[in-house]
Amino acid sequence: MGKQESLKSFQVQIAELKRQEEENGKTVHFSGIDPYELVEEDKNLYEEFLFDRLDDKKLMKHINSLSFKPGNKSRKQFAGYLGNMLSIKNLDKFLRK
């Protein structure tokens, strides 16, 4: 799968997560996100999260870099979504100890 196809697949996946949340009456995570504004960097970060390779330090570096870029609210909110999901994952690990 090429880079563009991979990005498109990621965007469709996030659009589906957003649709599911809306269908279930929960729009907390994706309400301000347009999945088709997300870029390769967002996809890579999401994959790192899925494969348990994303840590707080790496996510904060990404969030800080976005804070200096004007516009694209979707990317900033998606980083917030990843932060929430990472916190949940870290709490779950902590409670299992």
pLDDT in tens, 34-67: 999 999 999 999 999 999 999 999 999 999 988 8
Domain ranges of the chain: 3-96
| Three-state DSSP class for residue 27 | coil
Per-residue pLDDT band for 77 (boundaries 50, 70, 90) equals very high
Per-residue pLDDT band for 27 (boundaries 50, 70, 90) equals low
Q: For position 72, what pLDDT does the model report?
A: 81
Closest by Cα among 62, 72, 12 to 37: 72
The residue ranking higher by pLDDT, 90 or 6, is 6
> Mean pLDDT, the chain, as a whole number?
89
